[in-house]
Amino acid sequence: MRFRCSLCQQHYPLHTREWRCSRCQSPFELDQSFAFKRSKIDKRVTTLWRYRAMLPELKEKNIVSLGEGWTPLVEAVIEGRRILCKLDYFSPTGSFKDRGTTVLVSFLKELGIETVVEDSSGNAAASLASYCARAGIKTKIFAPADASPAKLAQIKIFGAELCPIEGPREKSAKAAQAVAKEFYYASHVYNPIWLEGIKTYAYELWEQLDGKAPDAMVAPAGHGSLVRGAYKGFAELQSAGLIKRIPRLYAVQAEIVAPLYKAWTKKLDQLQDYWRHNLVDLLPGQTFSTIAEGIAVSRPPHWAKILHFIRDTGGSVVTVSDKEILRARNAMAHQGLFIEPSSAAAIAGLSKLKDQIKPRDLVVVLLTGSGLKSSTILS
Ligand SMILES: [Zn+2]
């Protein structure tokens, strides 16, 4: 198995310290996919490691697990519609990122990495800090200075070195990338091993729905890893002949930071040379403020792939305002589910999808982060 540039196809060994293609700066992907086999699920294991046979090969002693995955699937009713919610905030650090982190940190342990650097709006960094503490790996985190205080505190409690960066989320990324020659860049955005963990939520849904896939999946999207992970996981199930089609994938963005939505409405992904377009012109010189800080990403590197997956499945991209997000957050709280605003964005998106989701569709919404992480609890 090797990394491969998603654009020019150049190969790199798994132990490379490059974090994206040195020739064309495009993100890596894995050069191999995994054959899903029902008989290979280890049903004694109640974490995502039950799918170990469908994950990159790792020695048992290097697996760093804190009990992540196999999260509950519960019903909720939004504007009269019954939906199923995948409670991925039932994760060791309170967010779905633990799925990717457990696989990535296990991989880093296998490589013998001693210090890592990462940037994040909060959840990915808190997750990495936790798993690295467990693995005995030193962690240096660059995060926006105005990230949720609860998330910043969470990063620190695990003993990570926290470097707050003023300005938009992208500045934290640049700061981390500037020291990526010195330390391993354990990026949840760029490292394809991380995505292997995320795809397991598709496997879980298939098991929890008695061997079915939902008709539609709705997820918040910043870097779009849930869309990419869902597509990968369901595509593997489809290749194994276990589902007929990949669910329609719907991505929900915050109105004020919506590059995927803008690219979608301009059909940029359908241009012949779409992958050469960057998203710089879509959001010129803005500073952003949204309560959905977890998805406030102005230039997601995988944007073209994300839109391709959404189009391929018959889904779409919609946006929601902060007011709509808070209303959705409260509607969920009134049903006993306390989620952070970035998660509530997906719930708010449902009302924008009324003409695209049919009444009989089986709809699953991914609830990504706990409300306890939010700094807008009383809004
Ligand atoms: Zn390349």
CA torsion 338→294→128→88, rounded to 10°?
40
Per-residue pLDDT of the chain (379 residues; tens, 9 = 90+): 999 999 899 999 999 999 999 999 899 999 988 999 999 999 999 999 999 999 999 999 999 999 999 999 999 999 999 999 999 999 999 999 999 999 999 999 999 999 999 998 789 999 999 999 999 999 999 998 888 888 899 999 999 999 999 987 888 999 999 999 899 999 999 999 999 999 999 999 999 999 999 999 999 999 999 999 999 999 999 999 999 999 999 999 999 889 999 999 988 877 766 655 555 555 555 566 788 888 888 888 899 899 999 999 999 999 999 999 999 999 999 999 999 999 999 999 999 999 999 999 999 999 999 999 886 655 5
Instruction: Specify the pLDDT at position 170.
Output: 83
Encode 233-288 in three state secondary structure.
HHHHHHHCCCCCCCCEEEEEEECCECHHHHHHHCCHHHCCCHHHCCCHHHCCCCCC
Distance from the alpha carbon of residue 6 to the mean position of ligand 1, in angstroms: 7
Task: State the amino acid at position 285 in one-letter form.
Answer: G
Distance from the alpha carbon of residue 124 to the mean position of ligand 1, in angstroms: 26
Distance from the alpha carbon of residue 300 to the mean position of ligand 1, in angstroms: 17
Model pTM?
A: 0.95
**CATH number 3.40.50.1100 is the correct assignment for the domain at 97-191:** yes
Distance from the alpha carbon of residue 54 to the mean position of ligand 1, in angstroms: 26
Q: Where are the beta strands (DSSP E) in the chain?
A: 3-5, 11-12, 28-30, 73-78, 81-87, 115-119, 138-144, 161-165, 184-185, 216-220, 248-254, 316-320, 363-367
Distance from the alpha carbon of residue 377 to the mean position of ligand 1, in angstroms: 43
Distance from the alpha carbon of residue 281 to the mean position of ligand 1, in angstroms: 22
Distance from the alpha carbon of residue 275 to the mean position of ligand 1, in angstroms: 11
Instruction: Specify the pLDDT at position 276.
Output: 59
Distance from the alpha carbon of residue 27 to the mean position of ligand 1, in angstroms: 8
Distance from the alpha carbon of residue 89 to the mean position of ligand 1, in angstroms: 35
Distance from the alpha carbon of residue 227 to the mean position of ligand 1, in angstroms: 22
Distance from the alpha carbon of residue 304 to the mean position of ligand 1, in angstroms: 15
Give residue limits of the domains in the chain.
73-95+194-373, 97-191
Contact indicator for 3, 14 with CB cutoff of 8 Å: yes
Distance from the alpha carbon of residue 272 to the mean position of ligand 1, in angstroms: 18
Distance from the alpha carbon of residue 176 to the mean position of ligand 1, in angstroms: 21
Distance from the alpha carbon of residue 190 to the mean position of ligand 1, in angstroms: 13
Class of domain 73-95+194-373: alpha beta
Instruction: Specify the pLDDT at position 122.
Output: 86
Distance from the alpha carbon of residue 21 to the mean position of ligand 1, in angstroms: 5
CA distances in angstroms from 201 to 47, 49, 96, 181, 232, listed in the order given: 11, 12, 9, 33, 10
Instruction: Specify the pLDDT at position 167.
Output: 82
Distance from the alpha carbon of residue 28 to the mean position of ligand 1, in angstroms: 8
